A and B are shown apart, each in its own frame.
Chain A
Amino acid sequence: MAENLPPPTPAPAEAAPPAAGASRPAGRGRRALPYLLAAPAWLWLALFFLVPICSMLSISLMSGDLYQGYVLTWEFGNYADAVATYWRQLARSLAYGGCATLLCLAVGYPVAYWIAFRGGAYKNTYLLLLLLPMFVSFVLRTISWKALLADEGVVLGPLKDIGLLPEAAHVLNTAPAVVLGLAYNFLPFMVLPVYAVLERMDHRVVEAAQDLYAGRVRAFVSVVLPMSLPGVFAGVIMTFIPTSADYINAQVLGGAHNTMVGKIIESQYLVNNAYPMAAAITFVLMAVLLAGIFSYARALGTEQVMEVQAR
Chain B
Amino acid sequence: MASTTGPGTAAAERTGQQQDAVPAIALEGVSKTYRSGGEQVAAVRGVDLEIGQGEFFSLLGPSGCGKTTTMRMVAGFEEPTGGTVRLKGADVTGVPPHRRDVNMVFQSYALFPHMSVFDNIAFGLRRKGVPAAEVRRRVGEAVELVELTGRERTRPTRLSGGQQQRVALARALVNRPSALLLDEPLAALDLKLRQSMQMELKRIQRDVGITFVYVTHDQGEALTLSDRIAVMNGGLVEQLGTPQEVYERPATRFTAGFIGTSNLLSGEVTASSGGVIEVRTGGGAVRAAGSAALGERVEITVRPEKITLAAGAVEPGACELPGTVIEAVYLGSTTHYTVAADGDDGTEIVLHQQNTAGPAEAARRGDRVRLTWRPDQSYVLPR
Contacts and interface: CB of A to CB of B under 8 A. Distances in A.
Contact flag (A, B; Cβ within 8 A) = yes
Interface in A191-214: 202, 204-205, 207-214
B366 interface: no
B113 A207 contact: no
A308 B98 contact: no
Interface in A213-251: 213-215, 218-219, 222-223, 226-227
Given A202-B108, A214-B98, A307-B157, A209 B114 contact: no
Interface in A35-81: none
B106 A207 contact: yes
A311 interface: yes
B124 A307 contact: no
Contact of B127 (A205, A214, A308): A214
Given A210-B97, A218-B127, A223 B157 contact: no
Task: Name the interface size band of chain A.
Answer: 20 to 34
Contacts of A273: none
Contacts of A222: 112, 123
Nearest to A203: B110
Contacts of A223: 112
Nearest to A208: B110
A295 interface: no
A310 interface: yes
A211 B97 contact: yes
Contacts of B75: 207, 211
Interface string B109-125: 01111100000000110
B114 A308 contact: yes
Contacts of A218: 98, 127
Most buried by B among A211, A215, A219: A211
Given A213-B124, A214-B98, A214-B127, A208 B106 contact: yes
A215 B113 contact: no
B157 A215 contact: no
Contact of A205 (B76, B103, B110, B124): B110
Contacts of B11: none
A49 B184 CA distance: 52
A304 interface: yes
A214 B111 CA distance: 14
Interface residues of B, number: 26
B178 interface: no
B155 interface: yes
A222 to B, nearest CB: 8
Given A212-B123, A212-B127, A212-B175, A311 B113 contact: yes
Contacts of A219: 98
B374 to A, nearest CB: 49
A211 B104 contact: yes
Nearest to B100: A211
B128 to A, nearest CB: 5
Nearest to B156: A311
Contacts of A214: 98, 123, 127
Interface in B73-119: 75-77, 96-99, 102-104, 106, 108, 110-114
Contact of A212 (B76, B113, B124): B124
B303 interface: no
B110 A204 contact: yes
B114 A226 contact: yes
A91 B128 CA distance: 47
A307 B155 contact: yes
Interface string A295-311: 00000000010011011
A311 B157 contact: yes
A207 B110 CA distance: 8
Nearest to B121: A212
B354 to A, nearest CB: 42
A308 B104 contact: no
Interface in A127-168: none
A224 B226 CA distance: 35
B171 interface: yes
27 contacts: A204-B108, A204-B110, A205-B111, A207-B75, A207-B77, A209-B112, A210-B96, A210-B97, A210-B98, A211-B104, A211-B172, A212-B98, A212-B123, A212-B124, A212-B127, A212-B175, A213-B99, A213-B127, A213-B175, A214-B98, A218-B98, A226-B114, A227-B113, A307-B113, A308-B113, A308-B114, A310-B157
Interface of A: 202, 204-205, 207-215, 218-219, 222-223, 226-227, 304, 307-308, 310-311
Q: Which 7 pairs across A and B sit closest by C-beta, in order of nearness?
A: A212-B124, A204-B110, A213-B127, A208-B110, A210-B97, A205-B110, A226-B114
Given A207-B75, A209-B112, A311-B113, 13 more contacts: A204-B106, A208-B112, A209-B123, A210-B77, A211-B75, A211-B97, A211-B98, A212-B175, A213-B128, A219-B98, A227-B114, A307-B114, A308-B114
Interface of B: 75-77, 96-99, 102-104, 106, 108, 110-114, 123-124, 127-128, 155, 157, 171-172, 175
